[in-house]
Amino acid sequence: MKQVRSKSIGLSNHLPKMRYWFIAIVAFCISVFGADDGHNDWPASLGRATSAASDGALSFHGNPAGAAAADGWSAGFFTNREWGLNELATFDISGRMAFPWGTIAAGGSFFGERELYSEACAGALYAKRIWRVDTGIRARLLSVSSGDWSASTAIIGLGVRAPIIKTLDAGAWIDNIAASKLDGNQLPVRGALGAAFRPTDWLRLSCDLYSESPNPSTLRIGQEILIGQILSVRSGVTFRPNCYHFGLGINFSDFEFTWAYIGHPELCGSTQLGIIYGG
């Protein structure tokens, strides 16, 4: 009788872990058959579902409030070749430093070919935790050139992020709140509302509702599984058009090396590489 009870108790102890594994496997299978919309928000391998999930060096390209979520400092460099074309190469660099009065971050990006068409962007953000809510504001200068023509404008963004329960964070951000124009043309206002669910130390599930005017809103889903504190297996989906995301992260000492692949139904694949260092 005691042996039967001990076996039933042991099985009940393993049921929560089995449930989390089941959730992770289902999320992974869904994301393998997923989606993308062509933007360079990191981490790309999570289906760009970064409203609540972005933090550290990644916050400069995602939710600016995420910069307040960690202590110390971090820096990241990322390179991306859109759909395998050298003319669509993008380079991003960003860094973050936490102080008692708040967190500051700066970064920039370059896209395209100088002789044909290029976009250069540089800016900074400030983030601070007020009570339990992370807040952030980001300002960037965008410059576009093509041959003898060039134009520039300023873009302002805001973000918030807060824990709902111990395992669930919610976040939202909006970019171009001033509805800036570039050479007389209206730039899109874009933003997202999302959440990140972390039932265990090794599993993160993210979901965003992303919108960019005048296009309809799209859904982004992503997941990350941490194996042995060294390897991160990531995947995600975005829609309109339907593409899939897959990526790996390798943690070594204070470094993280990231790789992401984005599959498009018509434009083939896009590969992204990155390195992040934190102290």
Tell how far CA 266 is from the center of its chain: 23
Report CA-CA distances (Å) from 207 to 59, 97, 158, 213. 16, 27, 19, 20
Across the chain, the runs of DSSP E, i.e. the strands, are 73-81, 89-99, 102-113, 117-130, 133-146, 149-165, 168-175, 181-182, 185-186, 190-200, 203-212, 218-227, 231-238, 243-252, 255-264, 268-278
Spell out the domain ranges in the chain: 2-278
Record: fold of 2-278: Porin (2.40.160)
Residue 200 CA, chain-centre distance (Å), reads 20
Positions in the chain short of pLDDT 70: 1-58, 82-88, 267
Give the predicted TM-score (pTM) of the model: 0.78
At 143-170, the pLDDT tens digits run 998 878 889 999 999 999 999 998 998 9
∠ CA 212-148-153, rounded to 5°: 35
pLDDT in tens, 78-128: 887 765 555 567 888 888 899 999 999 998 888 877 777 888 999 999 999
**109 Cβ contact list (under 8 Å, min separation 6):** 40, 61, 90, 91, 92, 93, 119, 120, 121, 122
Q: For residues 55 and 53, what is the distance between their CA atoms, to the nearest angstrom?
A: 6
